[in-house]
Amino acid sequence: MKNSNILYGVIACTAVLCVGLWWITMNSTSTDVTGSTPQTLLDKMGRDNISSSRDPDKLTPEDITSFWIGFGLAFSSTIFIGTSFIFKKLGLRKLASQGTRADQGGYGYLKEWLWWAGMSLMILGEFANFAAYAFAPATLVTPLGALSVIVSSVLSSIFLREKLNILGKMGCALCVIGSTVMVLHSPQEQEVASMDILKEKVQEPGFVIYAFLMVGTAIFFMIFVAPKYGNRTVLVYITICSTLGSFTVMGCKGVGVAIHQTLHGQNQFTNWLTYVFLSAVIICILVQMNFLNRALDIYNTAVVTPIYYVFFTTCVIVASLVLYKEFFSMSTKDIFGFICGFLIICMGIFQLNAFRDVNISLKNLPNAHRDELPKVSLNGGSMNQENTDEQRLLENDSICAKDYHDEDDSHPI
């Protein structure tokens, strides 16, 4: 079966799944979604979701239904997001044989339907993942979100013929585990009810300094680092995408607050801060899209996906911690778990980058060994060197013996 036929089947299944999830969500009266206000849905998205705080023996049918809807949304989001990278990569590959590549500054992918299909799947996946928090606890949704990395790795080996060695797979697993640990130990995010409160928070010195550092880092990488090292390591492009990605999330939250207040009679589209957030979202998304395409055009999808997921998640968490000053509300256990998760991520990223070109798998693992070290003799010298010295002595003795016999032959008695 051709890969194109399989992809068409994936698109059809995705469409059916979207319609099914939409129907379940809109017709579920047991979850009180119909008629709920946006603020009601936001209130359900905390880590202390009602499904996670109740005694399992006292769960009502409504809680169980809500749990499975959240599970379905979270699981479908992993399929959408993981598949989106494959469609984007296929579009970039097709473009590479026709015109200027994305890593060379080309934008021909904007005319490629495969790339747009991948972009649409990513948007749909992010929406499904966001909606899942309204139905299921974060302790379920967050680990499932990390499965998009595994989905992307599996599909890339099937459709893109990209292989990842055993050390790369272990590094990928470490990245997923570490990011999950970080998210689960991060503090509960505070909800902002009005633009006035959000304005006070973004004008605080801590967040202003953080914003200047992140934007400065992104600009420095774009101007000085990317042209020289972008083709050498995937971390360059991913760093640019992730640092700006945190502002994309913060900007989306700001626009969401503005829309919520406007719907309740307080027009916020006369507020200059609303347009600042909207401009930040548009600019950051455009820059992210550009450099993420460059990374996908050059590097293995199975390498780009986990590193991008980890960096993006980390930057969003750090931005939230700085904006809401959530470090002060974290317990010692959560701080320790947060740091451990970050260290696990560092180990995973190191493995992904340091050993990505090593030809090693489970099949040839028994035959993989290090070079034998020279044996050390009792007197401190090398056994190999000792053997060499003995050979030289034997050779000298044989030469001396030969000269002695020649001398005896030249002087007979």
The reported pLDDT for the residue numbered 222 is 94
Same structural domain for residues 134 and 256? no
| Residues 147 and 207 grouped into a single domain | no
Q: What is residue 224's predicted lDDT score, i.e. its pLDDT?
A: 94
Could you tell me if residue 367 is inside a domain? no
By CB neighbour count within 10 A (0-12 exposed, 13-18 middle, 19+ buried), where does 210 fall? Answer: middle
Task: Confirm whether 271 is domain-assigned.
Answer: yes
Query: Is 229 a domain residue?
Result: yes
Pairwise CA distance, residues 129 & 316, whole Å? 15
Last residue of a domain, one of 125, 147, 162: 162
Domain count along the chain: 2
Domain boundary among 267, 299, 329: 329
The pair of three-digit structure tokens given for residue 244, joined into one six-digit string: 């700006």
Got the DSSP string for 238-270?
HHHHHHHHHHHHHHHHHHHHHHHHHHTT---TT
- Residues 191, 61: one domain? no
Q: Are 13 and 120 in contact (CB under 8 A)?
A: no
Residue 140 CB partners (closer than 8 Å, separation 6+): 52, 67, 70, 71, 74
Residue 211 and residue 157 in one domain: no
In a domain, 267, yes or no: yes
pLDDT at 142: 65
User: 338 in a domain, yes or no?
Assistant: no
Do residues 103 and 93 make contact, with C-beta atoms less than 8 angstroms apart?
no
CA distance 166 to 118: 27
* Predicted local confidence at residue 330, as pLDDT: 78
CA 349-289-215 angle, 5° bins: 75
pLDDT score at 51: 39
Q: Assess whether 193 and 271 both reside in one domain.
A: yes
CB atoms within 10 A of CB 292: 23
Task: Answer yes or no: do 147 and 33 share one domain.
Answer: yes
Is 377 among the domain residues? no
In whole angstroms, give the CA distance from residue 217 to residue 234. Answer: 16
- Identify whether residues 70 and 198 lie together within a single domain: no
Residues 65 and 20 in one domain: yes
Chunk the chain into consecutive blocks of 10 residues (it has 413) and report each block's average pLDDT, rounded to whole numbers: 46 48 44 38 40 51 80 87 90 77 73 89 85 70 74 82 82 84 74 84 91 94 93 92 88 85 88 92 90 89 85 85 77 87 86 76 67 50 50 54 51 46
Query: CA separation (Å) from 145 to 142, 148, 361?
Result: 5, 6, 27
pLDDT, residue 397, reads 55
Number of H helices, E strands in the chain: 16, 0
Final residue before a domain boundary, out of 305, 329, 353: 329
Same domain, 113 and 255: no
3-state secondary structure of 382: strand
CA 195/CA 251 separation, integer angstroms: 12
Distances (CA, A) of 262 to 90, 131, 190: 41, 21, 21
CA distances from 123 to 7, 250, 317 (A): 18, 17, 20
Q: Determine the length of the chain.
A: 413
* Encoded tokens for 230: 């972008």
Residue 233 lies in a domain: yes
Q: Are 79 and 151 in contact (CB under 8 A)?
A: yes
Is 175 contained in some domain? no
Residues 295 and 205 in one domain: yes
Same domain, 127 and 201: no
131 with 248, same domain? no
Domain that holds residue 147: 1-162
DSSP H or E stretch at residue 309: helix 301-324
